[in-house]
Amino acid sequence: MTYCVALNLQDGLVFASDSRTSAGIDYMTSYSKMHMFNPSNDRLFVLLSAGNLATTQEVLNRLKRDIDFSDSVESLLTPRYMFEAADYIARVTHDAQQSHLKSLQQAGVNGEVSWILGGQIMGQPHSLMMIYPQGNYIEASEATPYLQIGETKYGKPVLDRVLDYKTSLEDAAKIALVSLTSTANSNITVGAPFELSTYKSDDYQLLRRCKFEANGDYLVQLEQTWKEGLSQVFNNLPGFEREDPEQETGLNDKAKSPGINLQVQSLP
């Protein structure tokens, strides 16, 4: 399993991924799931991957090969729009999956790969898309400014509660890291090192690319600060006030915190 998340914001894009790859409970390795393509000075693409590692590497190799022979074949130098780049990557992925489909099925192995594609082509706005193994894709929007692949559920709450389309790149990077650490704390198949990249619109090169080790100073400080903040917020939550202090409800008697007046009825 893996977890990758990307954010589409007013000022640019943020990408974050774990790097844990497992082949059973007793075998864990690390591979980068963040891949950058900057084939010319008028375009930049970042791909986050989730799924079969062999298929992932085959697709990446095909993309690199096509750039080398772009005079005669379609490549990442061809698209004029980001959706055209998504279509091209989807076709390459589909071909790679189909070429090994029968043998993988016989072995009981899933060879599918999902992608998050983000970047910009000169003359067009930056954008973010999720490409499914079947070849179709969806695009992030102002209303839903993030996309996830892999183990998505544990890192989603912080995105829904904190992230906004107008969030700064700096703050969004911290939100993405909290989303990653929250997932890693709840699922052993997701883990550090974590990779983080930010892209400022119209730059056509990454503003930042960082790698965070599990015991690195920043990640430890981030986790500790987040936990302390959550504890403080929890301690400040309003308590319950009972209308009938004589009722046996299991709640603390005469809660002092204002704001909630809870009517409790006895169960039959």
pLDDT tens digit sequence for 136-182: 999 999 999 999 999 999 999 999 999 999 999 999 999 999 999 99
The predicted structure's pLDDT at residue 264? 45
The predicted structure's pLDDT at residue 92? 98
Q: Within a domain: residue 182? A: yes
Q: Within a domain: residue 104? A: yes
Tokens of 4: 């990758």
Range of the domain at 198: 3-217
Q: Within a domain: residue 115? A: yes
40, containing H or E segment: strand 34-40
Q: Within a domain: residue 170? A: yes
Q: Within a domain: residue 55? A: yes
As to burial, measured by CB atoms within 10 angstroms (0-12 exposed, 13-18 middle, 19+ buried), residue 156 is middle
Q: Within a domain: residue 224? A: no
Confirm if 242 and 264 have CB atoms less than 8 A apart: yes
Q: Within a domain: residue 237? A: no
Would you say residue 1 has pLDDT above 80? no
Q: Within a domain: residue 127? A: yes
> What is the average pLDDT across 110-138?
97
Query: Domain containing 66 — which CATH number?
Result: 3.60.20.10
Would you say residue 243 has pLDDT above 80? no
Q: How far apart are CA 171 and CA 200, in angstroms?
A: 13
pLDDT in tens, 222-241: 999 999 999 999 999 998 87
- Average pLDDT of the residues of the chain: 90
- Structural domain tally of the chain? 1
225, containing H or E segment: helix 217-235
Would you say residue 253 has pLDDT above 60? no
Would you say residue 255 has pLDDT above 50? no
Would you say residue 254 has pLDDT above 60? no
Vertex 195, ends 14 and 175: CA angle to 5°?
A: 45
Would you say residue 129 has pLDDT above 80? yes
Could you count the other beta carbons within 10 Å of the beta carbon of residue 233?
9
